A and B are shown apart, each in its own frame.
Chain A
């Protein structure tokens, strides 16, 4: 899957998790840019990405991921 395709799929997951279709994520998007993306919602987001792409994030990725770009890096590496 190309980065663009992954980004599109991730964007759909954001719409679903945050219940907001107006969200547009780019590689540089961080938790500060999405209103409800706090540590509580982070895990819901992570597990939705996991079930969509069929793998499990390691704890260091869950904690250390800085932005959507890094999330895509990890998705691509699986």
Chain B
């Protein structure tokens, strides 16, 4: 039951009504039942996995709290869950890989670590803990929640809040537009090219590469809009996972704006712990003695970023494509750190030019192109296709083929033009920190209602094939 199906709409409506009719004290039980029903739709084997992971991590939470600062309980928990992820990533397990496992398992690890760090007490009530892990807006694809942030919201009573619910509806509608109109339609155009990559050159590959960057963003962030919107309908605020990533001026800024909750997870549970290891400490001290300020920062950073990006690559899947994709991102971020003194010098040499708006726009364009290029690792099924497309991109421009390619796909490209324009305006406003919802509500009612009708018609007319259903990130 994905967010774009009629079944989900009915499920959401029924949950919504029962939830607000139930006395506040018992609302969390309705949520838990809804979660159970939602996840059970993915199959009983998957449901069994979820149940087992919840039970084991719940028990670990209690054990970790009981053993205090001793390391063995937390070490056992982390090893066990990492092992589970590892085994389930092996080729033989791909057929039974439960939906969302790699998301909720990381969430369980995060919970155990927080209990160990004593930032939260272990949850004593198994059902309340199960509610947190299985919360249906985030169980399949994140965002990774923070137990501290979400627990009270899930358990406290909620009265219907018109403003919040309306915001939720907007987010869902906007997410639907991103997914059904833009992402799915771009899929029609680019899928054929990514199959083998053969016979496409230069500008055509560039166009396909850029289109895929838009597709992945609208697919994944469209899902997140629907997740955030569904939670808002229940009076609950979950984390935002995207913050106008294509407005970033550097790769590291991009990763602070793209899949934010994944970045935060790895920062808290991998980056900082590696930075605090004895090895990194020793390097820092040695460099300090040598009065090497540069090495003091940079070397531990390189070590921890390498660990982070390798692990993110493995988390995406045991596949050279994913690993190369994440290493590529890591490599750019690490190089930027290594070359920072050079960049700083260059920027200071002509501050008028390098601090200008034009330069910022160029940086944004450069980052977007780099990110789009990195997806040449991410999207194809094999490295062979990746290599072919990268080679073909640079061999010859072949503008005639690009014109022909656009001509053949002009219908699909025409249909996404208006939605893309709307997305561009909304993201542009968000980038400037404007509350788009609030701004929209300043319009007279007649304009707003015309926009609703127009929006529904637009989605209906231009949407792709609804039966395709799946989201790009379901594969993880």
**A residues with CB within 8 A of B:** 19, 39-41, 43-44, 47, 58-60, 62-64
Contacts and interface: CB of A to CB of B under 8 A. Distances in A.
Given A39-B271, A40-B301, A58 B276 contact: no
B119 to A, nearest CB: 5
A65 B300 CA distance: 21
Contacts of B275: 43
Contacts of A59: 117, 272-273, 276
B284 A44 contact: yes
Nearest to B274: A43
B119 A60 contact: yes
Contacts of B337: 40
B117 A58 contact: yes
The winner among A41, A58, A59, A64 for most chain B CB atoms within 10 A is: A59
Interface of B: 117-119, 267-268, 271-273, 275-276, 280-281, 284, 293, 296-297, 300-301, 337
A62 B296 contact: no
Given A39-B271, A43-B275, A43-B276, A64 B297 contact: no
A60 B117 contact: yes
A43 to B, nearest CB: 4
Contact of B281 (A39, A47, A58, A64): A47
A63 B293 contact: no
Contacts of A39: 267, 271-272
A56 to B, nearest CB: 9
Given A59-B276, A64-B119, A44 B271 contact: no
B284 A47 contact: yes
B227 to A, nearest CB: 25
A44 B296 CA distance: 8
A15 to B, nearest CB: 12
A58 B300 CA distance: 19
B137 to A, nearest CB: 25
A45 B301 CA distance: 13
A62 B272 CA distance: 8
Contact of A43 (B118, B272, B293): B272
B168 to A, nearest CB: 29
Contacts of A43: 272, 275-276, 280, 300
Nearest to A39: B267
15 contacts: A39-B267, A40-B297, A41-B297, A43-B272, A43-B276, A43-B280, A44-B284, A44-B296, A44-B297, A58-B117, A59-B276, A60-B117, A60-B119, A63-B117, A63-B268
B74 to A, nearest CB: 11
A60 B148 CA distance: 13
Nearest to B118: A60
A23 to B, nearest CB: 16
Contacts of B117: 58-60, 63
A63 B272 contact: yes
B68 to A, nearest CB: 13
Contacts of B118: 60
A19 B118 CA distance: 34
A35 to B, nearest CB: 11
